[in-house]
Structure formats: C-alpha cells, structure tokens
C-alpha cells in the first residue's frame, strides 16, 4: 500500500510579489483536500499554520464536522475531516510521521513552476510502492517558498493540461496529484 | 483537438433525501472549475441556474474578476473566468453549442453512483478525438437528478480511488475528470 501523507502549508509560502508570508486558512481547502485524501487512501492530512487565531478557527471548523451538528448531518464528511491534524510547522509534521512510521518521511515539494531536477508522476508513483513514508507538501497563496522547495527530497513536476495555462487552485491540484499518484490504473 | 464543453448544473439536482431541487451557487465552484477548464483547454464553461437572484450574484462575481478590480489584481484569473457563461437550463446550453458548432453536442452525465451502462475514461477520451462536440455535465448538491442522467447520451463512470469512499467535491471531481480525459499521456 502506498504510504502517503499530505501537508497543506500556510507558511512558508509566497505572495504575489514573491515575499514569504503566512497565508490565511480557506475553509473549502480543508473540506476538498480531506475528501480527496479519504477517497485515495492518503494516511493523514496536516494543515500547517503557526498562527493561533487561524488554528482556533480551523479547530472550530473541524470540530463542527467531526463532533458537532455537521457530524450528524453528514457522516461521510465527518470521515474525511477526521483525517485533518493541525501543526505549527512542516518540521512538526515530519516529526509526527516519524513517530508513527518509525522512520522520517521523504519530503515531496510541489510547485507550479518547472524545476530542472523535478520528479515525474510515474516515477513518484513507483517510489510510493516501496512502503517508505512520503509527505506531499502543497502551498497556499502563490505557492511554497523557494528555500523550502529547494530543501525538499523531491520536487514534483507541475501539472500541465494541453495549454500553457497552469493556474489551478490548490484544491484542484491536490485532487489531480492524488489521482495521478494513487488512482486505479 | 478535443471538443469539450462543461456545464455545472444547479438544476435539476437532488438533495440529501433524493428530492429534485435547485441548489445555490458556490463561489469557489466558479473559480476552481474555470481555472481547471482553462488549464485543460475546455472550450466553454456554462453555469446553469434558473434563479434570477443567483444569476445576478454570479454575474457580479464574474464581472469583478473579468472587468472590475479583480481583473487588474489577477489577470490570469480573468482569463479563466472569461470562459463562464450563464444559462437557465441545460437545454439552453445545448442550443448554444449547436449554434457555435453547427451540430448539437453529445451529452455526458456524471454521477458518483455506478450505472451498468456507463462509459469509461479511456473510451470517452478516445471519442473526444473525433472532433464532435461533447457537453460534460456536472451536478451540484447531491448530484444530477436521475431522470436527467438517464436521458443523457453517455453516463461517465464514477471516480474511485483505492478506497470505497467516493465523496469528492464537484470542484475536485471536475479537475480529475479533465485530467483523465484531456491530460497529457
């Protein structure tokens, strides 16, 4: 079984001007990525933000759907949102996965820009078969900060359709990446 | 070139209890599906609702990003949202495509439930190469109404990952379907 985890980073990401910032949580990122992760058997979905008020808001959203009125109204949504855990930093996510798996995950960064030494979908799909844990990291806002991307073990190829336009939402990108890496073939 | 259009239907769709309803517009459906459609070279994105207040709200959202402050702030978003057209009914969408193409589109319904005579992704991908127009129809709320699905020319297989959970958002489903039908192989 593929041993894939996903992190949605709100830091370190860049804004439109390329400055490193901390972005705000988007409610539908939590829902859409949790539902897609559950569909494809992703083992955990970590939402990364160092900001206390954003963590508190995220806890309230998750709690509504996992323990509050939403859990009764829509039990299948509950199953998805139960995959979410909040962490302050991507490093904290790595440590948590190391605790679970007994070995630290290989870190896979994603970016809409091309990098010369990126890994393709089929190559990463094949690697996932080796049983080692992998942490796929998605950036919000204008994407993950360059220093972070360059420090990752792998940089996943950007998603291109049949056009030169590649400005997908992070929710759409997550769905396509899970399908390419984990979907039935 | 594949000749694919997409419609996002807010009627006729079903609610949790299976009753046919008209659902409300979700802002991020417009953004995410427009961006994915633009990425994969989908020729038009039709948002279908018969409700006047929902059409007015949708026009305001589109106008903000195509002509208002949003168009200057984020020109690539503008290119995506320019694909959107509002229609009262799916039949109106068919007529419009017939006017553009000179021949009516084949109607492809989507559903998270399995149908015995559904078409697979590879088969539909091959059909798309024949140059005829196709209209992929996505449902909001709990999905397209059964009568509508049964009246379509094709019913596309549901998306399954490696689990039995298949409760993707319509935004995620659209992204995966475009990638499977139109993505580079």
Mean pLDDT of A163-167: 92
**CA-to-CA distance for B134 and B108, rounded, in angstroms?**
7
Chain B, nearest residue to A33 by Cα: B172
Q: Which domains does chain B have, with CATH numbers?
A: 4-51+81-182 (3.40.1280.10)
Percent of chain A with pLDDT over 90: 95
Predicted local distance difference test score (pLDDT) of residue B27: 97
Predicted local distance difference test score (pLDDT) of residue B184: 84
ipTM comes to 0.96
**CA-to-CA distance for B140 and B117, rounded, in angstroms?**
22
CB contact under 8 A, A167 and B36: no
B residues 70-129 closer than 8 Å to A (CB): 74, 76-77, 79-80
| Chain B environment of A167 (Cβ under 8 Å) | 35, 38-39, 76-77, 80
**Alpha helices (runs of H) in A4-163, residue ranges in sequence order:** 27-40, 52-66, 69-73, 75-81, 90-101, 121-128, 146-151
A residues 19-78 closer than 8 Å to B (CB): 28, 31-32, 35-36, 38-41, 74, 76-77
Average the pLDDT over each of A102-106, A143-147, A161-165, B76-80 and give the range with the smallest value: A161-165
| Chain B environment of A175 (Cβ under 8 Å) | 168, 171-173, 175-176
Predicted local distance difference test score (pLDDT) of residue B162: 82
Q: Is B163 on the interface with A (CB under 8 A)?
A: yes
Instruction: Dump pLDDT digits (tens) for A124-149.
Output: 999 998 989 999 999 999 999 999 99
Q: How near does any CA of chain B get to the CA of A164, in Å?
A: 7
Put simply, whether the predicted model's pTM sits higher than 0.90 gets the answer yes
Q: How near does any CA of chain B get to the CA of A147, in Å?
A: 25
Long-range contacts of A49-56 (CB under 8 A, 24+ apart): A49/A10, A49/A11, A49/A22, A49/A25, A49/A86, A49/A88, A50/A11, A50/A22, A50/A88, A50/A89, A51/A10, A51/A22, A54/A10, A54/A24, A54/A25, A55/A86
DSSP B85: E
DSSP B68: S
Q: Are A143 and A150 in contact (CB under 8 A)?
A: no
- Each residue's pLDDT, cut to its tens digit, for chain B (185 residues) gives 899 999 999 999 999 999 999 999 999 999 999 999 999 999 999 999 999 999 999 999 999 999 999 999 999 999 999 999 999 999 999 999 999 999 999 999 999 999 999 999 999 999 998 989 999 999 999 999 999 999 999 999 999 988 899 999 999 999 999 999 999 86
3-state helix, strand, coil in chain A (%, to 5): 45, 20, 40
Chain B, nearest residue to A77 by Cα: B167
Helix (H, G, I), strand (E, B) or coil at A25: coil
Mean pLDDT of A95-103: 98
- How many CB pairs lie under 8 A apart between chains A and B? 128
Predicted local distance difference test score (pLDDT) of residue A8: 98
Predicted local distance difference test score (pLDDT) of residue A1: 81
Predicted local distance difference test score (pLDDT) of residue A147: 96
First to last CA, chain A: 14
């Amino acid at each position: 079984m593929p041993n894939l985890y996903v992190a949605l980073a709100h830091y370190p990401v860049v804004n439109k001007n390329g400055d490193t910032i901390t972005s705000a949580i988007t409610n539908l990122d939590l829902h859409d990525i949790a539902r897609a992760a559950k569909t494809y058997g992703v083992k955990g979905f970590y939402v990364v933000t160092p900001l206390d008020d954003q963590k508190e808001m995220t806890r309230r959203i998750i709690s509504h759907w996992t323990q509050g009125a939403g859990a009764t109204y829509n039990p299948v949504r509950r199953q998805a949102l139960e995959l979410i855990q909040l962490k302050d930093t991507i490093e904290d996510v790595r440590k948590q996965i190391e605790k679970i798996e007994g070995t630290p995950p290989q870190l896979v960064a994603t970016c809409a820009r091309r990098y010369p030494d990126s890994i393709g979908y089929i190559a990463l799909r094949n690697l996932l078969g080796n049983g080692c844990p992998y942490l796929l990291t998605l950036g919000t806002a204008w994407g993950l900060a360059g220093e972070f991307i360059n420090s990752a073990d792998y940089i996943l190829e950007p998603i291109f359709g049949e056009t030169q336009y590649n400005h997908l939402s992070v929710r759409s990108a997550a769905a396509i990446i899970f399908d390419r890496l984990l979907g039935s073939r």
